[in-house]
């Protein structure tokens, strides 16, 4: 797991801000899903059609999540709505790690539960989960994928050391 002390927070915030102005971030499906407050603000009442909107976004952004998980993902998000609600007022650049100490396992539990939803032969997995959490609160949860992890020197959720890079 990535430890926050391993990442220069100022560098991370600069990269997030640069991404927000990129062509990819300005792509229509990203803005459309972020504008779906009817979904984000009512996760306790999420249904199949609203979950399908999330899956359409994920698949446009190369997550390849099977639509046969629509019902189970809706159920999981509904069950997690109160846990996720705790983080709606959080902003990445403002939150302190101390403020997360009150319930340190909530984010891990939410992440694990979403990532383990059955989707076809596999599960929703980490990249799609990070994008779902980003949708829930884009000012707190950041998206992650292989390119982002490698950009910070991580591979398969582990810090790549100089020896493992062949240096």
- Note the pLDDT tens digit of each residue in 25-43: 556 788 888 899 999 999 9
What is the per-residue pLDDT across 92-122, written as a single tens digit (0 to 9) for each? Answer: 778 777 766 666 688 889 999 999 999 989 9
Residue 143 to residue 127: CA distance in whole angstroms = 7
Cα separation, 48 vs 160, in Å, equals 40
pTM value is 0.75
Q: 120-133: per-residue pLDDT in tens?
A: 899 999 999 999 99
Q: What is the pLDDT of residues 43-97, one digit of tens each?
A: 999 999 999 999 999 998 888 899 999 999 999 999 999 999 988 888 877 877 7
């Amino acid at each position: 797991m990535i430890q926050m002390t391993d990442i220069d927070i100022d560098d991370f915030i600069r990269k997030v801000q640069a991404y927000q102005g990129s062509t990819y971030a300005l792509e229509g499906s990203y803005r459309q899903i972020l504008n779906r407050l009817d979904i984000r603000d009512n996760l306790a009442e999420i249904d199949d059609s609203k979950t399908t909107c999330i899956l359409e976004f994920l698949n446009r952004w190369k997550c390849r999540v099977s639509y046969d998980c629509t019902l189970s993902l809706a159920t999981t998000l509904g069950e997690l709505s109160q846990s996720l609600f705790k983080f709606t007022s959080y902003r990445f650049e403002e939150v302190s790690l101390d403020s997360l100490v009150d319930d340190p396992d909530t984010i891990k539990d939410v992440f694990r539960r979403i990532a383990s939803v059955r989707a076809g032969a596999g599960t929703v997995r980490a990249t799609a989960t990070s994008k779902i959490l980003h949708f829930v609160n884009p000012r707190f949860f950041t998206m992650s994928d292989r390119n982002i992890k490698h950009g910070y020197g991580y591979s398969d959720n582990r810090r790549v050391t100089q020896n493992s890079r062949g240096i």
